[in-house]
């Protein structure tokens, strides 16, 4: 009884699950996420139940990098409560902070819609997947991609290469099924090759303390990371 109680207290909201339950959740969420890629809750569950190999790998990358290590120590959060929106809006055009706010406004999205982790059985790894989710909109900003299906698929290819998370791989592979032929053509010939090349070439995007770089021009951050200019 006591042991079980302790198990629940890994972090707020944690739900312990057996490997079989994880497999069932993964299968169910995969089907739902493919059926409706905008079901962020299902995409989130899929990420947590299938990330058992990729997440420790990402954590180690962060631990072995000065900026990444700093993030793991301080555990910053990207939410409306932690963002000084007025300050970001006042930054010059082209800066990370200004372009990020522009992205949020243009696409009518909020950083607060990211699901908190529930099924990751390690408190530190739960933070890693939380951080990955919270910088997702910054990936859109860095890659210059909107939140439409085309933009999401391109970002997913980049993230799949960067993180190795099966959920990204799945989203990258099956996301395009709903696109028109013309969009598929652009995707296959230009956007996906660029996203894969950039993902392979870029240093780990979780090792950037974005909150300390709002003033940095997006282009200089792209260059620093090794992301090729968008086609």
Per-residue pLDDT tens over the stretch 169-195: 888 888 888 788 999 999 999 999 999
Decide: pTM greater than 0.75. yes
At residue 98's C-alpha, the angle toward residues 167 and 196, to 5°, is: 30
Instruction: Name the β-bridge partners of 217.
Output: 95
Check whether 37 has a pLDDT greater than 70.
no
pLDDT value for 17: 92
Assigned token pair, 95: 């800066």
Q: Among residues of the chain, what percentage have pLDDT more than 90?
A: 71
Instruction: For residue 8, name the pLDDT band (cuts at 50, 70, 90).
Output: low
- What contacts 19, CB < 8 A, 6 or more positions away? none
State the alpha helices, DSSP H only, in 135-189. 136-143, 149-163, 166-174, 181-186
Confidence tier at 44 by pLDDT (50, 70, 90): confident
Tokens linked to 148 = 């439409």
- Residue 65 CA to residue 69 CA, distance in Å, equals 6
Distance CA 104, CA 106 (A): 6
Which tens digit of pLDDT belongs to each residue from 208-231?
Answer: 999 999 999 999 999 999 999 988
Distance CA 214, CA 42 (A): 31
The pLDDT, as a whole number, for residue 53 is: 85
pLDDT in tens, 106-163: 999 999 988 899 999 999 999 999 999 999 999 999 999 998 989 999 999 999 999 9
The torsion of the CA quartet 60, 79, 45, 9, rounded to 10 degrees, works out to 70
Give the residues across from 95 on adjacent strands.
217
d(CA 226, CA 203): 7
Report how far residue 159's alpha carbon sits from residue 157's, in angstroms, rounded to the nearest whole number: 5
What stretches of 27-125 adopt beta strand conformation (E)?
none
Give the residue from 188, 191, 172, 186 showing the smallest Cα distance to 230.
191
**Assigned token pair, 104:** 């949020």
| Residue range 11-24: mean pLDDT, rounded | 91
Least confident of 2-6, 97-101, 120-124: 2-6
């Amino acid at each position: 009884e006591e042991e079980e109680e302790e198990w629940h207290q890994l972090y707020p909201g944690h739900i312990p699950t057996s490997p079989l339950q994880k497999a069932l959740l993964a299968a169910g969420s995969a089907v739902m996420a493919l059926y409706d890629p905008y079901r962020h809750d299902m995409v989130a569950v899929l990420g947590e139940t299938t990330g058992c190999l990729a997440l420790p790998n990402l954590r180690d990358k962060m631990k072995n990098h000065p900026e990444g290590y700093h993030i793991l120590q301080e555990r910053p959060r990207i939410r409306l409560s932690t963002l000084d929106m007025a300050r970001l809006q006042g930054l010059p055009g082209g800066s990370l902070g200004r372009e990020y706010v522009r992205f949020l406004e243009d696409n009518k999205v909020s950083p607060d819609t990211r699901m908190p982790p529930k099924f990751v059985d390690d408190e530190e790894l739960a933070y890693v997947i939380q951080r990955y989710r919270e910088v997702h909109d910054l990936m859109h900003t860095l890659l210059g991609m909107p939140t439409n299906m085309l933009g999401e698929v391109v970002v997913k290819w980049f993230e799949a290469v960067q993180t190795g998370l099966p959920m990204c791989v799945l989203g990258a592979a099956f996301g395009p099924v709903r696109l028109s032929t013309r969009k598929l053509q652009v995707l296959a010939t230009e956007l996906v090759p660029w996203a894969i090349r950039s993902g392979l070439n870029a240093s780990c995007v979780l090792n950037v303390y974005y909150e300390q770089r709002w003033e940095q021009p997006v282009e200089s951050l792209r260059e620093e990371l090794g992301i090729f200019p968008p086609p």
